[in-house]
Structure 1
Amino acid sequence: MTAAAPGAGGLAGDDGGRQRSEPMRSEPMLSEQRGLAAWLPRRLAEEQPAITVVGDFMLDGWWTGSIDRMCREAPAPVVDINRRDFAPGGAANTAMNLAALGARVSVAGIIGADDAGAELRRQLLAAGVDTALLAEHPGMVTTTKIRISSGGQVLLRFDDSAEAVPADALATFAAAVPAAVGRQDAVVICDYGTGVLAEPVRSRLIQTLARRGQDTLVVVDAHDPRPWAGLEPDLATPNAQEVARMLDLRLGNGPGRADVVTAHGGELLQATGARAVVVTLDWDGTVLIPAAGNPHRTWARPATEKQASGAGDTFVAALTLARAASLPLTASLDLAQAAADVVVHHPGTSVCGTDELGRYLESFADTALAADELERHIHAHRSDGQRVVLTNGCFDVLHRGHTRYLNQAKQLGDILVVALNSDDSVRKLKGPDRPINSVADRAAVIAALSCVDYVTVFDTPTPIPLIEQLRPEIYAKGGDYTPEMLAETEAVEAYGGTVTILDYVAERSTTAMVQRIRNGEGAPVPEA
């Protein structure tokens, strides 16, 4: 069982100044939550943030049929359509996902006074989305993308859209902007280049949102976010291809794209004007580039579903919801990755709801593998040419130091295995009052990190027996060690492995954190 899934924050503590008052409850305050848990989607939904989605609203069609003959007029297959499904796409899909995750959603845009527009509005209203500012115009054509498939394979997609947006429609939309985005917890701008957000709409949005207070989050999800740089958005979410076009880069298709993007992080921040840029890398996950702090990665769960679409919209929706509710930025990123992982395993354009996301996260509660079963998985990965990284620790109360070095460990190879000390082992190391969390709970939290592929538990004084059984190519350790100080080094080097020491975050200590909790103290106040 692979534990590759959504992550928890690698740079936790980066709340970006977004704070909301929260009631007393048994669960941690959202602004202090670092890892993912099954209760988190429900807790976020309880916040019910008011979010407006502005931009390009589309209708996706998924038509399926059978192929039994070839066309007489040309060497082309004939598809006998037996099913026609429609789903909101583009900005509408973002709105649908936000509503499914518990937000109070309103939308603003322009659609045609046509059958596609009527179907789009009907589905949005059925999902509880406020469409009062989704204007119909007789001179518009609702953008429609219809995919024809057979046997699970998309054969063709044909698009229908307006050649130009009528000037009077743009003027009316621009006049409605203040009403659309005023007093919202978040605004998502979805600009896919259809012309709906052209002038004067863009200038009015920038002018209006430039006066926003700190309580309004602005996310720009655009094919080219550069025209929105004057808005100074909180987040910009281009994908790898869009970054390549913006910066004139050649990214290729391998996992090294994240390194290239990170190396050009300063240029991306300047080009977008954003406080943080999240670059989505499809099957390679995402990379976060904040204006202050270090980059953070998430890793996606591979999917074989050939007819999935709209995972990027789901990602943006979950990211926006989480940030609007004050979840730290890196934890929000990891939650968004989890939501995207859910929908890529669904056919068509689909949404990820609160309950489904909670069940997905809950599935990692019993994820620790026995050493023998883990060895079989590792053998298969090694046969595919993948390098295994192993690290170990108690991981009793997850904190910034843990997640930072686990993300670093993942980047040393292809497969990351985390070995947890058993409860008895923790008591021997830390004392009779530890661990705070049982090994089952600790395994669930660690397994929910997108950078972690497998979790196992060991009960020996050191992980040497496990190392000798699994023979990882790289043994990683975080802390103020040298390889010579570790008892494990001799065992690793005996079979040709490498020991790597990762960053030590001195200001983060589980012991100190536990003591503050027991003393009823809050986080230490930073020095002036």
Structure 2
Amino acid sequence: MIENFDFGRVVIIGDIILDCYINGSVGRISPEAPVPVLLRAHHTAVPGGAANVATNAATLGCEVTLLGLVGCDDSAEILRATLSTTPGIDLTGLVVDSSWTTITKTRVLSGRHQIVRIDEECVVSLPETTQARLIEAARNAISKADVVVCSDYAKGVLSDDVLGAVISFARERGIPVIVDPKRKDFLAYRGASLITPNRSEMTLATGLPMDSDEKVERAARMVAEQFEGDVLVTRSEDGMSLIRREGDVTHVRARKSELCDVSGAGDTVVATIASMLSAGQDLETAVVIATSAASIAVSKLGTATVSRSELSAALLAEIKEDGGTLSIQQAQTVVDSWRHHGARVVFTNGCFDLLHPGHISLISAAARQGDKLIVAINSDASVKRLKGASRPLQDEGARGTVISALRDVDLVVIFDEDTPLEIIQTLKPDVVVKGADYQEYEVVGGDFVKSYGGAVVLVDIVSGRSTTSIVKKMQQTKSAVEMAL
């Protein structure tokens, strides 16, 4: 998986933005005007625009050179400070212009609901001297690059002269150029390898609807002829469509995810594709991986990055959608991601040798205790030690496949010990569930879970149902048949 990729250097040039978030709660309407009163809780700032592309690429493992324009203001200093927390980003190519206002977008939120956005910007035509400084910085950076990204937010940094020079420098070295476009006319991007418009941007550029695969292909081919490159249309819940200029088409469907905030998702897509290309992957593979990254990004509130471990776990989960298990390390990444988004994580365990109504009842009851359910299964060796040499009747792979196919189950792991204590200590679930035939003090890991505020829940079970009793009945039936014969 991507943990083994050897990422290269990506140069990112474009409009640099500081994204600020003022969070709080609304409990009343102002007596001064019919507007909500926000009780402010905290204020955060993160890189946005081209800077968000840079942090995403660096988080995945690339060495990144960020080029753009900032002013001589507090926002520029905050932006530098936020970028400095992500290793691997070179900021020496940032151009400072005293006449420029560092672009800032401030979003005011109550919980997860945005009330208003306040923008600070003064977009003006860049002086020739400033453009020359940007072009020179681009020339130096591209000489050491594997991939170039132009992050165009239509704020003025990627003027015709700057854009033309960047594409020309990259083509001279045979380096792919990816453009996230915002112009109505894509002809300005002629010479780029790939552009990544969303559906609205494609409709604006072509005047064509985007409500089917066929219509997307038609519009993309029109655009591809204009700028002489490949087109990747990002289609929100419908995934992405890659239309190659020479004719090949790839439609990648989006992973199901809980939609929270789409801001910055396009940056994640561009950064992921650039990162995968820098690691020597082909474009089709990069698009598939970027689709997963986008699904993770939109499940997070605000402008956010996607880590290599998060992305790797998501890709593994996709591979195993039709059944299977994750290692404890992979499961830990998934569980950490759930918890980061506020999920209540539930844990139960067992051998689950022959699935019967008692198992279904336990799993269903466990799932109702929270948002995500982990089922831990004893390995074959563990079952033999606990149940005897004749067990298990099904190997751990088969048992994992059956359990993971149940609708209530979100994740399956296999443990080799006699008890699940170690895996509970690793995953730290919020709730541990066992059948009511246990006493609370008998539940393995219960004291540990309660030590950090978790809970042990005992649920009613279906009496008279167990794999042991089923096996015994089968053996008795077999003996009766043999005697009758």
TM-score, normalised with respect to structure 1:
0.59
Structure 2 residue aligned with 1:106: 65
Q: Secondary structure at the match of 1:132?
A: coil
Q: Is the aligned partner of 1:144 residue 2:104?
A: yes
Structure 2 residue aligned with 1:130: 90
Structure 2 residue aligned with 1:156: 116
Structure 1 residue aligned with 2:192: 233
Structure 1 residue aligned with 2:308: 354
1:244-263 matched pairs, under 5 angstroms:
244-251=203-210, 256-263=211-218
Question: For the residues of structure 2 that align with 1:62 and 1:101, how far apart are their CA atoms?
Answer: 24
How many Å apart are 1:105 and its aligned residue? Answer: 0.5
The AA in structure 2 aligned to 1:164 is: V
Structure 2 residue aligned with 1:217: 176
Structure 1 residue aligned with 2:253: 299
Q: Is the aligned partner of 1:65 residue 2:24?
A: yes
Question: For the residues of structure 2 that align with 1:105 and 1:225, how far apart are their CA atoms?
Answer: 28
Q: 2:224 aligns with which of 269, 276, 279?
A: 269
How many Å apart are 1:323 and its aligned residue? Answer: 1.8
Greater mean deviation of Cα atoms: 62-71 or 92-101: 62-71
Question: For the residues of structure 1 that align with 2:167 and 2:262, how far apart are their CA atoms?
Answer: 33
How many Å apart are 1:326 and its aligned residue? Answer: 2.2
How many Å apart are 1:210 and its aligned residue? Answer: 3.2
Share of identical aligned residues, percent?
29
The AA in structure 1 aligned to 2:35 is: A
Q: Is the 8 A contact 1:108 1:131 kept in 2?
A: yes
1:493-508 matched pairs, under 5 angstroms:
none
How many Å apart are 1:295 and its aligned residue? Answer: 1.1
Q: Is the 8 A contact 2:72 2:98 kept in 1?
A: yes
Q: Secondary structure at the match of 2:172?
A: coil
Q: Is the 8 A contact 1:153 1:307 kept in 2?
A: no
The AA in structure 2 aligned to 1:147 is: R
Q: Is the aligned partner of 1:197 residue 2:158?
A: yes
Structure 1 stretches lacking a partner, 5+ long: 1-39, 371-437, 448-528
1:214-248 deviations in Å (ceiling 9; x for gaps)? xx221111112845656422211111111001101
Counterparts in 2 of 1:284 and 1:233: CA distance versus 1, 3 Å? same
Q: 1:290 aligns with which of 204, 227, 244?
A: 244
1:96-151 deviations in Å (ceiling 9; x for gaps)? 01001110101111011211111111222221200000122211111111111113
Q: Is the aligned partner of 1:41 residue 2:21?
A: no
How many Å apart are 1:52 and its aligned residue? Answer: 0.4
The AA in structure 2 aligned to 1:201 is: V
Structure 2 residue aligned with 1:24: none
1:358-410 deviations in Å (ceiling 9; x for gaps)? 1222334653369xxxxxxxxxxxxxxxxxxxxxxxxxxxxxxxxxxxxxxxx
Q: Secondary structure at the match of 2:241?
A: strand
Q: Is the 8 A contact 2:7 2:278 kept in 1?
A: no
Question: For the residues of structure 1 that align with 2:276 and 2:176, how far apart are their CA atoms?
Answer: 11
Question: For the residues of structure 2 that align with 1:309 and 1:144, how far apart are their CA atoms?
Answer: 14
Question: For the residues of structure 2 that align with 1:293 and 1:231, how far apart are their CA atoms?
Answer: 18
Question: For the residues of structure 1 that align with 2:78 and 2:120, how far apart are their CA atoms?
Answer: 15
Q: Secondary structure at the match of 1:98?
A: helix
Question: For the residues of structure 2 that align with 1:307 and 1:337, how far apart are their CA atoms?
Answer: 16
Q: Secondary structure at the match of 2:56?
A: helix
Q: Secondary structure at the match of 1:200?
A: helix
1:22-41 matched pairs, under 5 angstroms:
40-41=1-2
Q: 1:77 aligns with which of 36, 41, 63?
A: 36
Greater mean deviation of Cα atoms: 237-246 or 304-313: 304-313
Structure 2 residue aligned with 1:115: 74
1:328-363 deviations in Å (ceiling 9; x for gaps)? 221111001111111111111110111111122233
Question: For the residues of structure 1 that align with 2:38 and 2:246, how far apart are their CA atoms?
Answer: 53
Q: Secondary structure at the match of 1:363?
A: helix
Question: For the residues of structure 1 that align with 2:185 and 2:150, how far apart are their CA atoms?
Answer: 13
Structure 2 residue aligned with 1:382: none
Q: 2:138 aligns with which of 163, 177, 190?
A: 177
Q: Secondary structure at the match of 2:158?
A: coil
Question: For the residues of structure 1 that align with 2:65 and 2:157, how far apart are their CA atoms?
Answer: 17
Structure 2 stretches lacking a partner, 5+ long: 325-394, 405-485
Structure 2 residue aligned with 1:419: none
Q: Is the 8 A contact 2:7 2:276 kept in 1?
A: no
Q: Secondary structure at the match of 1:163?
A: coil
1:424-503 matched pairs, under 5 angstroms:
none
Question: For the residues of structure 1 that align with 2:219 and 2:126, how far apart are their CA atoms?
Answer: 38
> Going by fraction, where is helix more abundant, 1 or 2?
2
Q: 2:288 aligns with which of 334, 342, 361?
A: 334
Number of residue-to-residue matches in the alignment: 329
Q: Is the 8 A contact 1:140 1:165 kept in 2?
A: no
Question: For the residues of structure 1 that align with 2:169 and 2:294, how far apart are their CA atoms?
Answer: 31
Q: Secondary structure at the match of 2:31?
A: coil
1:433-490 deviations in Å (ceiling 9; x for gaps)? xxxxx9969x99xx9xxxxxxxxxxxxxxxxxxxxxxxxxxxxxxxxxxxxxxxxxxx
Q: 1:90 aligns with which of 38, 44, 49?
A: 49
The AA in structure 2 aligned to 1:269 is: A
Structure 2 residue aligned with 1:7: none
Structure 1 residue aligned with 2:149: 188
Question: For the residues of structure 2 that align with 1:280 and 1:331, how far apart are their CA atoms?
Answer: 15
1:308-387 matched pairs, under 5 angstroms:
308-364=262-318, 366-368=320-322
Counterparts in 2 of 1:169 and 1:261: CA distance versus 1, 3 Å? same
Question: For the residues of structure 2 that align with 1:56 and 1:191, how far apart are their CA atoms?
Answer: 6
Question: For the residues of structure 1 that align with 2:217 and 2:397, how far apart are their CA atoms?
Answer: 35
The AA in structure 2 aligned to 1:126 is: T
The AA in structure 2 aligned to 1:43 is: N
Counterparts in 2 of 1:203 and 1:217: CA distance versus 1, 3 Å? closer
Q: Secondary structure at the match of 1:349?
A: coil
Question: For the residues of structure 1 that align with 2:314 and 2:167, how far apart are their CA atoms?
Answer: 38
Q: Secondary structure at the match of 1:348?
A: coil
Question: For the residues of structure 1 that align with 2:189 and 2:314, how far apart are their CA atoms?
Answer: 38
> What value does the CA root-mean-square deviation take over the aligned residues?
2.5
Question: For the residues of structure 2 that align with 1:223 and 1:192, how far apart are their CA atoms?
Answer: 6
Q: Which has the higher contact order (CA 8 A, sep 6+)?
A: 1
Structure whose alpha-carbon radius of gyration is higher: 2
Structure 1 residue aligned with 2:342: none
The AA in structure 2 aligned to 1:134 is: L
Structure 1 residue aligned with 2:414: none
Counterparts in 2 of 1:203 and 1:232: CA distance versus 1, 3 Å? closer
How many Å apart are 1:161 and its aligned residue? Answer: 1.0
The AA in structure 2 aligned to 1:359 is: A
